[in-house]
Structure 1
């Protein structure tokens, strides 16, 4: 039996787990897979036979360090390293015991600089999943150096201009990895399915589950500015309590069949999460990209690059008045559709799986003699 490939999967939102399942599903059937995650429920219903080991959820652990421990500086090559936290110690022990037991050919880390360093110290070859953002700090660079390779689940065209050459050279770019596989309907078909007016201008506003949600107040300004436009708001929203509701502002919350909503839209206003970007690119709708706050400016840097490529209109600050909205929508409609659609690749998960399988074989190959 071949050595397994082990995945460490972050549990912020659903994107990391969905990406892992897409890649794992494309691996050869005879390649065993194990998963380490603090939220095993994210993999409920996954068709592939995998062994999941639950990690302690450090966010749920109530730990208040003594003042002197809390005051200790964090080493430059780490992002989060509090002292005296038993939950972290249990996580590290669980990871090391798992790796020692299964002896993986590869350890795919999505994402953690500290876990990459731990893998190298433990003599386990790791592949780091790359994300956008300001990641030139010592911790990220050390994590990249600790890995035997890096995997970017996005198109090389979306790479940031300031990424060092040595990181680019170690990176496998899969093309934009979209985890949604629903058939993309025409706009007319999608509106019929959803019971929407076939002629009215429709804007879909969308964010994922990794943050606080779309701010509601600016959307009320948009609805007021364009009363003939229907605004469909999907996912969570942030309310301040003083907003005025409008009849053309339709709060739908969490929905199934996101592809239908995107296909029904004339314009999509959405955050810059990996999953959302590639879902919009797959459907090919004009895109106003409103990045959410993330560590290391991940979404801001991605929005900047999308704008540089002419793939989206970047909205770094939600308008505080009604007047900008017509211009934002018209600017998005004026973009060349192919600048966005080219960033998604139907075969991205398969490309990632080929890379991982190839590394799992090549790293352990011994020269033949004779």
Structure 2
């Protein structure tokens, strides 16, 4: 959505999606094409369901009506609108479909172990890749031939709320000026961030205040502490980021760049994702000194104290340089230049 704002107004946009409600606040006019939601849809027989997945594909069960309709609508739309470019959110299968349909495609480059034949075929099928992050945190395992065809926007953050001085943010939020404050951004994936490790963190730093934004998962044995406060879902996350002395969060794309934009010491504890996407991103952040990366949540007071000390010792400028305020505009300009280049006679 952030990129669409900068696409030239004379360039029409069509969006194919199974969740059109996500585009209600699109900053410019676009045609929305609803796709059937095929996630979890069943095959029509056990024998079809049991057929092995081809090595060049990732998720293509046989006999799934919703999948056939989903792919059929994509193919019909590509044929009808004859797009200058088809921008694909990750899917290697759709990249291959686009190439078969003779439509030039750009796929979004994401971190993770994507060295399998399916991902590589998807990269090969596309005219280029668009990476919404700084090339400083690209993985060494990403092939040179693919990297040479990838446009790195710099760190793209969809949030545009103003960055405030720490004390100003605390005054707005009625937070103490004289206490250390750690903000935990709980992930929305799965059942939420585990609450038990946060109770250990609160004990590891009893003089500090711990604020948790987002859902948490309780197992029933946790003990609450007065310096650990749940905020739930909030719509003013930037203010809390500005008020914090450090941040604990996962390695989601926008989350990382929100923290970079606020220039806060970052303890990164990735969530599970396909192809180890977040683990790979966290490892790259740690490699360039932009974050402390832990594979799992600290399970004891000494572990937390070591992790927090390491986090406080970071040079926040290394993380801050990974955010680019003009990333969305750069992405749009590159997409438009590619469309013009490919179709020039």
- SS of the equivalent of 2:52 reads coil
Whether 1:141 and 2:111 are equivalent positions in the alignment is no
Is the contact made by 1:208 and 1:276 (CA closer than 8 Å) also made in structure 2? no
- SS of the equivalent of 1:52 reads strand
The aligned counterpart of 2:302 is: 323
Structure 1 residue 47 displacement after superposition: 2.7
Q: 2:7 aligns with which of 24, 27, 32?
A: 27
Measured against aligned partners, the alpha-carbon deviations of 1:64-113 in whole angstroms (never above 9, x if no partner) come to: 55332222110011000101000000101111111111111000001201
Alpha-carbon distance in 2 for matches of 1:345, 1:47: 20
Is the contact made by 1:211 and 1:292 (CA closer than 8 Å) also made in structure 2? no
Alpha-carbon distance in 1 for matches of 2:111, 2:69: 30
Q: 1:234 aligns with which of 204, 213, 217?
A: 213
- SS of the equivalent of 2:146 reads helix
Structure 1 residue runs of 5 or longer lacking an equivalent are 1-20
The aligned counterpart of 2:19 is: 39
Q: Are residues 343 and 211 of structure 1, via their aligned partners in 2, closer, same or farther at CA, if it must alter by over 3 Å?
A: farther
Measured against aligned partners, the alpha-carbon deviations of 1:282-330 in whole angstroms (never above 9, x if no partner) come to: 0000000000000000000111111111100001111111222222122
TM-score by length of 2: 0.98
Is the contact made by 1:134 and 1:297 (CA closer than 8 Å) also made in structure 2? yes
The aligned counterpart of 2:204 is: 225
The aligned counterpart of 2:76 is: 97
Q: How many residues align?
A: 345
Is the contact made by 2:285 and 2:291 (CA closer than 8 Å) also made in structure 1? yes
Structure 1 residue 210 displacement after superposition: 3.8
- SS of the equivalent of 2:15 reads strand
Alpha-carbon distance in 1 for matches of 2:127, 2:190: 31
Residue pairs, 1:267-346, within 5 angstroms: 267-346=246-325
TM-score by length of 1: 0.91
Alpha-carbon distance in 2 for matches of 1:166, 1:46: 34
Structure 2 residue runs of 5 or longer lacking an equivalent are none
Structure 1 residue 253 displacement after superposition: 1.1
Whether 1:122 and 2:101 are equivalent positions in the alignment is yes
The aligned counterpart of 1:9 is: none
- SS of the equivalent of 1:317 reads coil
The aligned counterpart of 2:188 is: 209
Q: CA RMSD in A?
A: 1.1
Structure 1 residue 60 displacement after superposition: 6.0
Alpha-carbon distance in 1 for matches of 2:119, 2:190: 22
Measured against aligned partners, the alpha-carbon deviations of 1:168-205 in whole angstroms (never above 9, x if no partner) come to: 10100110001101110010111111110011010000
Q: 2:334 aligns with which of 347, 352, 355?
A: 355
